[in-house]
Structure 1
């Protein structure tokens, strides 16, 4: 009786699946060398998937520089599998240009121009990134021989089979047998929550316009008329994309002025946007400075040993009470080390003396505050993480003009600090938070935190990190100021509240910190939809939820049971069913799962968390495959399919 050839089905073929495939290939010699059948189900081109697909507005950019993007598990990654170095985006572009990399499609001329002008400090277009990701997927697929079959369709359901394994139903009518299923769905859509559904119903009844949370480039903005007032709730990355689509995307353009400023030349087709959010300001700019002081080195305070000591003392940890003070102290250590060693003229104390005293002090102690005041005379250079998080906390604005001046002034100050070579301490802070963000999932397991803390990590901590570290290129903030001066972008301030007004048939936007009220027929919620397995529009997630094969993460806190909306997975990324048991052969990875999550690609040489996760998952999958292959089988149960080339090009 022949041995079973394990069949692995990946649902979703974006960069996360590509990363796991690369790790499966790298780990096969060590774990399982037998044959595999690997199916990747992806309606878009595999590698880039939906979010990074080529066919989107050419003005949309990444919020990372080319030198900070790689898909390769380099030597810095601490994992059981072998490193497999390869070119990051910048090196890949250079290789395409000098023909040392030739396994690429025939690019259209605009992409060749982007390749020729790309440098390590360029913020590349998503179109160019799509080609790098698709190239990486093809490379990973080839490394697995003829094992990989791509199905350019959508998975619509998963059902368990008697005797083991699952059936994966596809929208094209086929059914795949799967011994192992991996859901790697990335960002998915959900039915609107109660508030958004109310907004949509209101707009429909009153002839208005409402865009519920969604991936910005997938929304139809054509009903918005030229000159129309539009309330925008949210000032994060979705808001940045929205400005591109509704301003330059409608024919306007930016022009450099003689004094080095920026002017917006409207086409006349643009609407007028009124933007606000909880903080009332956009995400912080990416940073132009380079470190001048001592090299950062490893984390000193937020470490596995420190967390173990806290666990030994408390048993269960609270993020705010136990972990955040360590994170804040780590951020301060990075920040003041760069300030005092890279710009010693700004300090009144040597770094060695400062560090010796700082190490023994709690972040929230008066002694630490006094030490900083003595070492750094300019109070404007003191690191205040609470003010960083809520820059307008406690302020009251006297009218519309005061709000405009405050938000515009905040953006200008942010650019002065972060788009300047004079403040490398902002880069040190960026690196500290990035390092901690990548380490959280490794130094503390979710089950060792109380339920409230898991909510905080998925909510506030992720939001704070994104606000400080995942902001747009600096020129996007300059463009915001130019649009503001052109009268096309007005600011609503912090504490934004939007309510439908039945009497007028308009949406009303107010700020809790000012008396400004704006009414408009159109409302855009500029953010991705909140993850919700129960409300998911993805048929596979709906199928998992309805069948009980998967479940939504629910947390019991002192004020009741709360759902994070995320697909619940174990520490090994196994789906946890409605019965509370981890599924042996069903796995989930990515931002929609209860795992900590850390993106799909990363900065080179940073021991990146997604690469560590990819490696561990690949080894788990191979171990399960080895056990499956050891079982004798009279037949190999897998529907014959017509292979589709894994190296498929653009649509």
Structure 2
């Protein structure tokens, strides 16, 4: 028998797959030095994929600075495999510019200018990020020794392979991956890494689409913003926008600058918008009624942040010993809040001592003894921090207009504009570095929580909270847009092209007039319009997925959607159910040891595909663990006497195209 050459098929070729490939290359010599036959199925450019592809509006930007983006598993990452350092986005751009990095394609002039002008503190365009991700993918492939084949198509099904009557080498764990181009890949291991995918609209969105169609209106269901056709929106048309997060920020770019308008700097440091006359007029609202907090330009002045002090392995271990299931709200959130408060006040006391009335040593010793939500803790803060506006109130941060009522249109416009201006004062100036300390604390917690708390030890209500409120709160505080985007919102508001609907947004459809009606009980007014845009990504739903292979996994039973039994009944997170080893779980909870899933659409704690350097980033830990699991399966399959045989040698896969550098902008 010939030596077995294990075959691995990645469905999805974006940055998450690139990260796992890099980890396979790093771990391979130690765990499986033999040959691997790897296939990547990706209809867009591998490395960047759909979300980060080059072919987007050139004005769309990352919400991270160049210094805060890396794909490399550096020495800070607590993983079993070897760390392999490399250039983050800022260093890569510098290397391309000075010629020390040469394995890149010829860039268009606009990108070359971006590379030359990029600083560590700048927010790069997504087009530039696409090239970094694609370069990283090519580098990972090169380190694997040419064993990767890219298939520029879509996977449609994953089926258990049936044994041919004469096939003595059949392995019951082998699967067939069907492709949209008619080809089939035989796989010993399948990894789904699909990123953000589209879903069929839920009942409410579907009803609004039907309403708009009946009355000649416009409705955009949740989607990746840049993939929606907004050409039906007329100049000056009133448009209701539900959602004020990152999708809303992208929408403003496409409907304003994307239609020929431009921003001009004003002498006072603000912005003025020069309209083209082609823009619609937007009315935006959401549950909070305000946009995401901007990124922070301040630098820490006080003591450097340390390790987590309250949400620690020991603290969580004690909870796990005492309780069979943990509750996020009553047991974990108080520790998270105290962690955030400690870092916030440490920076305030050690970086801005003129704003406090006592020393950090005295304050911190007393603070460590108290529960975050205790009256004693509130009294301690009140006595040591004279200015009430500097007291950290996480609930007010989460719902800034909770309990407020407004006197109508004019009142809510002024309130939201003041809020945005205050946010810029706190986060886009050097005067409030305590906001950065809070940002760093929440980021640490977000990255560590999944490592410290096994997902299967949370009660169902808490898993719901993690996927819903906790992720939303973290994104609202830590994953907002560049400060310039908030200044642009104010300029558009002053130009009369952006108006605010307020918090607690409610939308109905009036059949008698064919109009959508949007309003807020707190704001005290409503707006009618023939167009509605739901400015958010579609909710994850395996059952309603428009991705053919996710739909297949669900209907075939090979995969399942995570279901949680709560006090209110069965709740579905919509996510693809995986084990703590990222194995797909079927409807009965059984693990497929050779079918894996990773990324935001799976039931793990969740993390992005890239991260800030030197932060022990969760996605890099996950990538390493998954890569080692894949290599362990490969080693078992290839070992003498395993009873399996080579799928690659007995049933060769037709190769679409070997992985190689691709032209910029190829879609």
Pick the TM interval, shorter chain: over 0.9
Q: 2: distance between equivalents of 1:368 and 1:291?
A: 24
Checking the alignment, whether the CA contact within 8 Å between 1:7 and 1:638 is kept in structure 2 is: no
Partner of 1:598: 607
Which whole-Å deviations, capped at 9, do the CAs of 1:520-547 have from their partners, x for residues lacking one? Answer: 0000000000000000000000000010
Checking the alignment, whether the CA contact within 8 Å between 1:373 and 1:379 is kept in structure 2 is: yes
Structure 2 residue corresponding to 1:287, chosen from 296, 303, 309: 296
Partner of 1:340: 349
Structure 1 residue corresponding to 2:411, chosen from 402, 407, 427: 402
Checking the alignment, whether the CA contact within 8 Å between 1:5 and 1:636 is kept in structure 2 is: no
**Residue 645 of structure 2 corresponds to residue 633 of structure 1:** yes
Q: 2: distance between equivalents of 1:122 and 1:262?
A: 18
Tell me the SS of whatever aligns to 1:461.
Answer: helix
Deviation of residue 646 (structure 1)? Answer: 3.4
Q: 1: distance between equivalents of 2:237 and 2:567?
A: 46
Checking the alignment, whether the CA contact within 8 Å between 1:45 and 1:649 is kept in structure 2 is: no
**Residue 553 of structure 2 corresponds to residue 544 of structure 1:** yes
Checking the alignment, whether the CA contact within 8 Å between 1:4 and 1:636 is kept in structure 2 is: no
**Residue 564 of structure 2 corresponds to residue 555 of structure 1:** yes
Partner of 2:55: 55
Partner of 2:38: 38
Deviation of residue 258 (structure 1)? Answer: 2.0
Structure 1 residue corresponding to 2:307, chosen from 298, 313, 316: 298
Checking the alignment, whether the CA contact within 8 Å between 2:327 and 2:459 is kept in structure 1 is: yes
Structure 1 residue corresponding to 2:622, chosen from 586, 599, 613: 613
What is the number of equivalent residue pairs in this alignment?
Answer: 651
Which whole-Å deviations, capped at 9, do the CAs of 1:457-516 have from their partners, x for residues lacking one? Answer: 000000000000000000100000000000000000000011111011000001021221
Which whole-Å deviations, capped at 9, do the CAs of 1:312-332 have from their partners, x for residues lacking one? Answer: 222211000000000000000
Tell me the SS of whatever aligns to 1:158.
Answer: strand
Q: 2: distance between equivalents of 1:51 and 1:309?
A: 41
Q: 2: distance between equivalents of 1:641 and 1:373?
A: 68
Structure 2 residue corresponding to 1:438, chosen from 441, 447, 456: 447
Partner of 1:490: 499
Tell me the SS of whatever aligns to 2:658.
Answer: coil
Deviation of residue 204 (structure 1)? Answer: 0.1
Q: 2: distance between equivalents of 1:259 and 1:141?
A: 50
Matched ranges for 1:505-584 at <5 A: 505-584=514-593
Checking the alignment, whether the CA contact within 8 Å between 2:105 and 2:662 is kept in structure 1 is: no
Checking the alignment, whether the CA contact within 8 Å between 2:349 and 2:360 is kept in structure 1 is: yes
**Residue 173 of structure 2 corresponds to residue 164 of structure 1:** yes
**Residue 66 of structure 2 corresponds to residue 66 of structure 1:** yes
**Residue 179 of structure 2 corresponds to residue 199 of structure 1:** no
Q: 1: distance between equivalents of 2:91 and 2:656?
A: 35
Q: 1: distance between equivalents of 2:308 and 2:279?
A: 47
Checking the alignment, whether the CA contact within 8 Å between 1:189 and 1:537 is kept in structure 2 is: yes
Tell me the SS of whatever aligns to 1:295.
Answer: coil
Partner of 2:662: 648
Partner of 1:78: 78
Partner of 1:235: 244
Checking the alignment, whether the CA contact within 8 Å between 2:295 and 2:482 is kept in structure 1 is: yes
Partner of 2:281: 272
Q: 2: distance between equivalents of 1:641 and 1:213?
A: 36
Q: 2: distance between equivalents of 1:357 and 1:639?
A: 66
Q: 2: distance between equivalents of 1:70 and 1:516?
A: 46
Tell me the SS of whatever aligns to 1:411.
Answer: helix
Partner of 2:142: 142
Computed over aligned residues only, the root mean square deviation of the Cα atoms, in angstroms, reads 0.8
Partner of 2:165: none
Deviation of residue 396 (structure 1)? Answer: 0.6
**Residue 8 of structure 2 corresponds to residue 8 of structure 1:** yes
Deviation of residue 350 (structure 1)? Answer: 0.2
Q: 2: distance between equivalents of 1:452 and 1:504?
A: 41
Q: 1: distance between equivalents of 2:310 and 2:655?
A: 53
Checking the alignment, whether the CA contact within 8 Å between 2:152 and 2:656 is kept in structure 1 is: no
Partner of 2:322: 313
Partner of 1:217: 226
Deviation of residue 311 (structure 1)? Answer: 1.8
Deviation of residue 2 (structure 1)? Answer: 1.3
Deviation of residue 636 (structure 1)? Answer: 3.1
Q: 2: distance between equivalents of 1:325 and 1:509?
A: 36
Partner of 1:20: 20
Q: 1: distance between equivalents of 2:216 and 2:397?
A: 40
Q: 1: distance between equivalents of 2:83 and 2:369?
A: 37
Tell me the SS of whatever aligns to 1:359.
Answer: helix
Matched ranges for 1:167-182 at <5 A: 167-182=176-191
Q: 1: distance between equivalents of 2:655 and 2:269?
A: 60
**Residue 143 of structure 2 corresponds to residue 129 of structure 1:** no
Deviation of residue 86 (structure 1)? Answer: 0.2
Q: 1: distance between equivalents of 2:345 and 2:257?
A: 40
Matched ranges for 1:452-463 at <5 A: 452-463=461-472
Q: 1: distance between equivalents of 2:656 and 2:415?
A: 61
Deviation of residue 388 (structure 1)? Answer: 0.1
Q: 2: distance between equivalents of 1:200 and 1:248?
A: 27
Which whole-Å deviations, capped at 9, do the CAs of 1:619-641 have from their partners, x for residues lacking one? Answer: 00000011111235275334232
Partner of 1:188: 197
Deviation of residue 446 (structure 1)? Answer: 0.9
Deviation of residue 645 (structure 1)? Answer: 3.0
**Residue 254 of structure 2 corresponds to residue 251 of structure 1:** no
Moved segments of 4+, more than 6 Å: none
Partner of 2:167: none
Deviation of residue 260 (structure 1)? Answer: 2.1
Q: 1: distance between equivalents of 2:614 and 2:89?
A: 14
Which whole-Å deviations, capped at 9, do the CAs of 1:347-372 have from their partners, x for residues lacking one? Answer: 00100000100001000000100110
Which whole-Å deviations, capped at 9, do the CAs of 1:109-160 have from their partners, x for residues lacking one? Answer: 0000101110000000000000000000000000001210000111111111
Which whole-Å deviations, capped at 9, do the CAs of 1:54-83 have from their partners, x for residues lacking one? Answer: 000000000000000000000000000001
Checking the alignment, whether the CA contact within 8 Å between 1:284 and 1:414 is kept in structure 2 is: yes
Which whole-Å deviations, capped at 9, do the CAs of 1:157-204 have from their partners, x for residues lacking one? Answer: 111113231100111110000100000000000000000000000000
Checking the alignment, whether the CA contact within 8 Å between 1:149 and 1:646 is kept in structure 2 is: no
Checking the alignment, whether the CA contact within 8 Å between 2:74 and 2:613 is kept in structure 1 is: yes
Checking the alignment, whether the CA contact within 8 Å between 1:534 and 1:552 is kept in structure 2 is: yes
Q: 2: distance between equivalents of 1:250 and 1:91?
A: 34
Q: 2: distance between equivalents of 1:444 and 1:127?
A: 36
Checking the alignment, whether the CA contact within 8 Å between 2:150 and 2:656 is kept in structure 1 is: no
Q: 2: distance between equivalents of 1:643 and 1:628?
A: 26
Deviation of residue 642 (structure 1)? Answer: 4.4
